[in-house]
């Protein structure tokens, strides 16, 4: 997995929400098989950056290339979205569909798979994330941790080359965080390219090659997790870490 | 958006407490439907003249009332969906057209609209035909039922647009984002994810619209459509018995509306249990 194939290339991206300058010239590269963790205070633009990668947010200037596809036309945006899986803070499972149908629908609609093929893929992924028995439950009937694992399986069913995680454990009760992080660790070990917005230091230490600290729409510091957490170079990183670690 | 859904989830959980569903399955309001039907039958048996004669006389009008309402409603559902999506469109032109339509139509009484479509619209078409020398348009002959359905659809479509819009907006934004991030197009996401959920939300107001339409369809009696109301007036003009005629007409409308209300309520519960 040490091949240095570039999966995500971001250069000088700017994004404004009205008067708020959410991203101020962000540039970064993610190699194939790399796990990148982004930390930073709320409002620092880390989620916005993540959502720019699959164009859930538009950006004004700059360039984003995902797996060699330039994010410019509507066609390319859909092509990128097919290759990029996304996991949300609030799970966003389709509320009117069972767990199994949540996994099957997009495979049928987007990948044009037959129902049987989609179902086989769905069942094996549900086994992988540890919920093979709740296939006929509706999202509101299972726990948050289970919902998030189903959401991960739903994204994986599309065979993505990249997975984006937007604070995947922030809405979970403490005892459910581990079950979700375990699934993410397994994915990382299998060589999935991942960009993770999360303050789970344990996960970052175990899986990430690099951690990025963002503040006020800029990347302040990028370093291997151990280095960034124990000896940050910038004042703002130190201040932020002292607040997070003292909790 | 997400926090707003929490109470709803809690309610669903409550509804699943064993035993509770048995209470909600027995719909006592069916007895009211039976009662009104009973009164209609009783009156017809006790005093067939005039009551049974009235029913026989307005029978075809009743058919037209039901036909008008059902056909118009199918088109209203389609127009309302287009209008609602238009109101939510980011394209300023589409949004503008949809908003203009809703605002204008809601500001004119339905009766005036129906009269306009029946009396003014054909003349407009004929004038345009003469002006452009298109003989099909110049010789356009109005069809009362078609124009009545058109008028009802045009007016109710505006109200239905707002119901669709509210229903679609009530679905958390994350549902659309999840669908799009899986690679679905906007249309695919609407069709498979947003509308199926929105329809459950809007079912009660849509049911209300159906019942309102059933009642408002009586207005077409002023534009030469022989619906139940118009047939009632025709019967009265020859027999001069307003009490009997209008009591029976009122009872027949009640049977239709109460029955429809039960069907709507049954549909609501059916979709509720599928969650």
Q: What is the distance in angstroms between the Cα of A154 and the nearest Cα belonging to chain B? A: 9
User: What is the DSSP annotation of A159-209?
Assistant: --SEEEEESTTTTS-HHHHHHHHHHHHHHHHTT-EEEEE---HHHHHHH-S
Segment B111-134, tens digit of pLDDT: 999 999 999 999 999 999 999 988
ipTM of the complex in this document: 0.91
pLDDT tens string B204-219: 999 999 999 999 999 9
pLDDT at residue B25, rounded to an integer: 56
Residues shown for chain B? 275
Return the sign of the alpha-carbon dihedral for residues B250, B252, B255, B257.
Answer: negative
Residue B53 within a domain: no
Tell me, what's the pLDDT at B2? Answer: 42
Query: A70 pairs with which residues across the strands?
Result: A65
Contacts of A140 in chain B (CB under 8 A): 9, 12-13, 275
What element of type H or E holds B201? helix B195-216
Report yes or no: B172 at the A interface, CB cutoff 8 Å.
yes
> CB–CB of A90 and B197 under 8 A?
no
Assess if residue B123 is contained within a domain.
yes
B179 to chain A: nearest residue by CA? A106
In terms of residues, how long is chain A? 247
Q: What is the pLDDT of residue B151?
A: 96
Total structural domains within chain B:
1
Q: Domain of B240? A: 29-40+60-274
Q: Which of A90, A103, A150, A167 to mutate to test the interface with B (most CBs of B within 10 A)?
A: A90
Please check whether residue B155 lies inside any domain of the structure: yes
- The CATH number linked to B74 is 1.10.3720.10
Residue B17: predicted pLDDT: 47
CB contact under 8 A, A92 and B200: no
Closest B-chain CA to A50: B181
Give chain A's contact residues with B (Cβ, < 8 Å): 54, 56, 78, 81-82, 84-86, 88, 90, 92-96, 105-106, 109-110, 138, 140, 151, 154-155, 158
- Residue B129 located in a structural domain: yes
> Mutating which of B8, B170, B178, B201 best tests the A interface, going by the most A Cβ atoms within 10 A?
B178
- Maximum alpha-carbon separation in chain B: 72
A106 contacts on B by Cβ (under 8 Å): 179, 182-184
Residue in chain B closest to A151 (alpha carbons) equals B178
Domain-embedded: residue B22: no
Do the beta carbons of residue B73 and residue B160 sit within 8 Å? no
Residue of B nearest to A89 (CA): B174
Domain assignment present for B232 = yes
Q: Which residues of chain B have pLDDT under 50?
A: 1-12, 14-15, 17, 19-22, 275
Q: Does B200 touch chain A (CB under 8 A)?
A: yes
Contact A96 B180 (CB under 8 A): no
Query: In the beta sheet, which residues pair with residue A213?
Result: A39, A221
Q: Which of B5, B174, B184 sits opposite A88 (nearest CB)?
A: B174
- The answer to whether residues A46 and A36 touch, using CB atoms and an 8 Å cutoff, is no
The DSSP code sequence of B142-191 is --HHHHHHHHHHHHHHHHHHHHHHHHHHTS-HHHHHHHHHTT--HHHHII
Give domain status of residue B148, yes or no.
yes
Q: How confident is the model at residue B134, as a pLDDT? A: 86
Low-confidence ranges of chain A (pLDDT < 70): 1-4, 246-247
pLDDT of residue B249: 95
Query: Is B51 inside any structural domain?
Result: no
Task: Tell me which residue in B5, B181, B275 faces A54 most closely, judged by beta carbons.
Answer: B181
Tell me which residues of chain B, numbers 13 to 32, contact chain A at a CB-CB cutoff of 8 Å: 13
């Amino acid at each position: 997995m040490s091949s240095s194939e570039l999966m995500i290339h971001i250069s000088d991206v700017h994004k404004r929400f009205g008067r708020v300058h959410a991203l101020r010239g962000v540039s970064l590269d993610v190699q194939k098989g790399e796990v990148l963790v982004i930390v930073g205070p709320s409002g620092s633009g880390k989620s916005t950056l993540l959502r720019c990668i699959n164009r859930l947010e538009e950006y004004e200037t700059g360039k984003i290339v995902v797996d060699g596809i330039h994010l410019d036309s509507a066609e390319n945006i859909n092509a990128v979205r097919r290759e990029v899986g996304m996991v949300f803070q609030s799970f966003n499972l389709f509320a009117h569909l069972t767990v199994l149908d949540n996994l099957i629908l997009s495979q049928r609609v987007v990948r044009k798979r037959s129902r049987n093929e989609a179902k086989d893929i769905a069942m094996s992924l549900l086994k992988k994330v540890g919920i093979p028995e709740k296939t006929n439950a509706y999202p509101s009937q299972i726990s948050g941790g289970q919902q998030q694992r189903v959401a991960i399986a739903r994204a994986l069913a599309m065979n993505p080359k990249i997975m984006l995680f937007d604070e995947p454990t922030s809405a979970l009760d403490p005892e459910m965080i581990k079950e979700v992080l375990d699934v993410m660790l397994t994915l990382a070990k299998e060589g999935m390219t991942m960009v993770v917005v999360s303050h789970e230091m344990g996960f970052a230490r175990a899986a990430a090659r690099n951690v990025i600290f963002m503040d006020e729409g800029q990347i302040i510091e990028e370093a291997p997790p151990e280095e960034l957490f124990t000896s940050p170079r910038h004042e703002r990183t130190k201040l932020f870490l002292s607040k997070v670690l003292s909790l | 958006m997400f926090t707003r859904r929490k109470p709803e989830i809690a309610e669903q959980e409550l509804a699943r407490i064993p035993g509770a569903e048995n209470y909600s399955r027995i719909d006592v309001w069916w007895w009211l439907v039976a009662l009104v039907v009973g009164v209609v039958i009783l009156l017809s048996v006790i005093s067939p003249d005039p009551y049974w004669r009235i029913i026989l006389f307005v029978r075809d009008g009743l058919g037209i009332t039901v036909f008008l309402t059902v056909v118009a409603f199918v088109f209203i559902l389609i127009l309302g969906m287009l209008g609602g999506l238009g109101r939510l469109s980011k394209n300023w032109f589409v949004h503008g057209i949809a908003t203009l339509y809703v605002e204008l139509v809601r500001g004119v009484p339905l009766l005036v609209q129906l009269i306009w479509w029946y009396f003014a619209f054909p003349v407009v078409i004929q004038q345009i035909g003469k002006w452009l020398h298109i003989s099909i348009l110049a010789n356009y002959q109005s069809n009362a039922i078609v124009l009545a359905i058109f008028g009802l659809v045009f007016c109710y479509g505006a109200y239905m647009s707002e119901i669709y819009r509210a229903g679609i907006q009530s679905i958390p934004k994350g549902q659309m984002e999840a669908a799009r991030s899986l690679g679905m197009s906007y249309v695919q996401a609407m069709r498979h994810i947003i509308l199926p959920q929105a329809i459950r939300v809007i079912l009660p107001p849509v049911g209300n619209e159906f019942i309102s339409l059933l009642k408002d369809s009586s207005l077409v009696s002023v534009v030469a459509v022989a619906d139940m109301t118009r047939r009632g007036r025709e019967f009265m003009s020859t027999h001069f018995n307003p009490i009997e005629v209008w009591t029976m007409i009122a009872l027949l409308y009640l049977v239709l509306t109460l029955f429809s209300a039960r069907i709507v309520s049954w549909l609501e519960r059916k979709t509720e249990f599928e969650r």
